[in-house]
Amino acid sequence: MGWPQRQRARTPRINPPRPTALAGTLLGRHPASPLLVPTPFARFAATCDALRQLDGRNAKREGAAELLAAVDRDERAPTARFLAGQTLSPLDERDLNVGSSVLADAAGEGQTPLFGGEATIADVARVVDGLADVSGTGSGQRRSALLGGLLGRLDEDEQAWLRALFLGELRTGVQEGLVLDAIAEAADEDAEIVRRAHQLRGDVGEVAARALADDEPPLADVDLELGRPLGPMLAEKAEDLETALAEAGPRAFVEPKLDGARIQIHRRGEDVRVFSRRLTEVTDSLPEAREVGDQLDAEQALAVGEVYAVDEDGRPRPFPDLMRRFRREHERRASRAEVPVAIRLFDLLHVDGTTLIDDALTERRARLEELAPEDLLTPAVQTSRLAEAETVYDQAQGEGHEGVMVKAAESTYEPGRRGRSWLKVKPAETLDLIVLGAEWGHGRRSEWLSNYHLGVRVPDDQRDLLQEPSQPGQDPVTRREGHAMVGKTFKGLTDEQFGWMTDRLQELAETEHGWGVEVAPSLVVEVTFEAVQDSSKYRSGHALRFARITAIRDDKPVRGAATVADVAATGGPR
């Protein structure tokens, strides 16, 4: 059986905006209308203005719901994404490559508007789609033309909100979860049904479009679709094995924590597709995973596992070696001969027409053991005894793995959610941090951007944890909303990795200085450190002691990186 074509989130062609009567509402200049004419982007900007000033989750939810209920049918999906601070669907594998410098160039060129009249939300979505398609020679000029034509139809306030949208700095206090609640309110739908649909579809825009349409099947009918990636279930860190076992409850599963990358293998008949943690397709990069899918004893299946690089003895190699298999199209990927990998499966989410995510892990594991050869499974011991768990931990460490995972036997699979039904136990303090800038090195490292500015996310509800740095010059990214520095490091990378980082950070550069670059917050690195100490240098209030990059996690999205609260919790109370 063939695969359904994976649809890119494109905006349908829409006629030029028709005149719309202005009226004052609580949140916008344009009332909801049964005529469903395209909605001026001015209303989105006015809604964001109001949301930023509103206090309380309920008020913000109602404001977002009012906008979603008012927009044209074809604008529901982009409006929901825009409210959540997204330009494209998370399932869209294209990149916009639009940073502050590109926006500045577009604004400075005084482009002639490409379309007449007031810009609509649909127009913005159409430009976003066009930007994502730009590539090759002259791409910078074409981006400027697209953006310039749009900016010419926006007033100063609307331009400011468009810039904030592109840079991920809306700062309205509205996150994806709140947008889902707003969709439920606007559609008069149960919030749990909306959230489950989002777990299965992975795109807040698609959920909004379906929930608000009168002629679509009920949202409650949404099910897992083979060939469409699910968000990964995420684990929290436990202080130690004893704590993890106590939290997980009786007969928890204890498995080695493999130092690799999460993958999901979708099989439909003879067709097998493989997706990464970031929901991008990596089938061509990992023919070994396709071969694993072929060995599953089922006509249809969705299995989740981990892939990691191995040496000639089968022991784990450093994570950066694995990433050579996932390089982007214009870079040379390492071959399977250069970087052999091992794949181990640990979960089963679908088999032959039956979705299993609501079944207990005990049942899912049993079904997986029926389908997959034993040598393809992550070893797992079900136990409540600390001594047995310690044996698994010691064996995992001895084999070169990070530590162990402790999973509640009754846990269901919750795509895209982080919770304490799955816990990880490993020795070193480790955080996933964002590279916010880099300095040119000295001496042997002078040709590379090799001293990295490490940062964390600052969600709206954690802004009270920030402080004014005593030495602002030590924190070059103080101006960046939504992020804060926690230190710098040049340790941990090889010369080859320094070269790769230099090329990548120059692509992401937003501002160049004599000392280096400030970059768009797009690249995640795994950092180990000895301790967290108080610091007046950084507005995070913390600095990592003896930080060292242990892996370039180009497979991880920025939204999964550590927050300022995570660092505060690691370092203890300030």
pLDDT digits (tens, 9 = 90+) for 42-72: 999 999 999 999 989 999 999 999 999 999 9
- The larger pLDDT score, comparing residue 430 to residue 361, is at 361
Which stretch of DSSP H or E encloses residue 435?
strand 429-440
**243 and 198 assigned to the same domain:** no
Range of the domain at 506: 429-571
pLDDT digits (tens, 9 = 90+) for 354-398: 999 999 999 999 999 999 999 999 999 999 999 999 999 999 999
Confidence of residue 109 (pLDDT cuts 50, 70, 90): low
**211 and 319 assigned to the same domain:** no
**Are 392 and 256 contacting, i.e. CB atoms less than 8 angstroms apart?**
yes
Which among 60, 257, 407, 426 is annotated as catalytic?
257
Q: Does a structural domain hold residue 211?
A: yes
**369 and 337 assigned to the same domain:** yes
Q: Is the pLDDT confidence value at 33 over 50? A: no
Q: What is the CATH classification number for the domain harbouring 313? A: 3.30.470.30
Share of the chain above pLDDT 70, in %: 88
**How many Å apart are CA 122 and CA 62, to the nearest integer?**
22
Q: Is the pLDDT confidence value at 508 over 80? A: yes
Q: Is the pLDDT confidence value at 504 over 60? A: yes
Q: Is the backbone of residue 269 left (phi > 0), alpha (psi -120 to 50) or beta?
A: left
**79 and 211 assigned to the same domain:** yes
Kindly state the average pLDDT of the residues 96-103. 81
| Closest to 402 (Cα-Cα) out of 425, 423, 434, 382 | 425
| Closest to 469 (Cα-Cα) out of 518, 545, 540 | 540
**122 and 190 assigned to the same domain:** yes
Radius of gyration of the chain (CA): 24
Give me the pLDDT at residue 8, please. 35
| Closest to 45 (Cα-Cα) out of 179, 154, 148 | 154
424 counts as catalytic? no
- Residue that terminates a domain, selected from 390, 425, 460: 425
Q: Does a structural domain hold residue 9?
A: no
Give me the pLDDT at residue 570, please. 75
Q: What is the CATH classification number for the domain harbouring 122? A: 1.10.3260.10
Give me the pLDDT at residue 319, please. 78
**How many Å apart are CA 221 and CA 238, to the nearest integer?**
36
Give me the pLDDT at residue 479, please. 53
- Tell me which of 111-125, 330-344, 528-542 is least confident: 111-125
- The larger pLDDT score, comparing residue 568 to residue 353, is at 353
pLDDT digits (tens, 9 = 90+) for 436-494: 999 998 878 889 999 999 999 998 888 888 887 655 444 555 456 789 999 999 999 99
Confidence of residue 328 (pLDDT cuts 50, 70, 90): low
Q: Is the pLDDT confidence value at 167 over 60? A: yes
Q: What is the CATH classification number for the domain harbouring 478? A: 2.40.50.140
Q: How many domains does the chain have?
A: 3
Share of the chain above pLDDT 90, in %: 62
- Tell me which of 211-220, 284-293, 326-335 is least confident: 326-335
Q: Does a structural domain hold residue 461?
A: yes
Q: Does a structural domain hold residue 36?
A: no
Q: Is the pLDDT confidence value at 261 over 70? A: yes
Q: Does a structural domain hold residue 258?
A: yes
Give me the pLDDT at residue 514, please. 83
Q: Is the pLDDT confidence value at 329 over 80? A: no
Q: Does a structural domain hold residue 440?
A: yes
- Residue that terminates a domain, selected from 375, 401, 425: 425
**76 and 146 assigned to the same domain:** yes
Give me the pLDDT at residue 331, please. 58
DSSP 402-417: -EEEEE-TTPPP-TT-
Kindly state the average pLDDT of the residues 512-530. 90
Give me the pLDDT at residue 381, please. 97
Burial letters 10-35, b for 16+ CB under 10 A, else e: bbeebeebeebeeeebebbbbebeee
**Coil, strand or helix: which one is 222?**
coil
**191 and 257 assigned to the same domain:** no
**111 and 256 assigned to the same domain:** no
Q: Does a structural domain hold residue 29?
A: no
**395 and 435 assigned to the same domain:** no
| Closest to 353 (Cα-Cα) out of 303, 304, 305, 302 | 302
Give me the pLDDT at residue 19, please. 31
Give me the pLDDT at residue 18, please. 31
**Are 296 and 303 contacting, i.e. CB atoms less than 8 angstroms apart?**
yes
Read off the DSSP letter of residue 531.
E
Give me the pLDDT at residue 335, please. 83
pTM over 0.85: no
Name the β-bridge partners of 545: 531
Q: Does a structural domain hold residue 259?
A: yes
- Compute the mean pLDDT over every residue in the chain, rounded to the nearest whole number: 86
- Residue that terminates a domain, selected from 186, 221, 256: 221
Name the β-bridge partners of 429: 529
Kindly state the average pLDDT of the residues 298-311. 97
**167 and 310 assigned to the same domain:** no
Q: Write out the E strands in 290-333.
A: 300-309
**How many Å apart are CA 565 and CA 568, to the nearest integer?**
5
* Upper half-sphere CA count for residue 247 (Cβ side, 13 Å): 21
**357 and 318 assigned to the same domain:** yes
**How many Å apart are CA 485 and CA 477, to the nearest integer?**
7
Q: Is the backbone of residue 245 left (phi > 0), alpha (psi -120 to 50) or beta?
A: alpha
Distance of CA 202 to the CA centre of its chain: 11
**172 and 101 assigned to the same domain:** yes
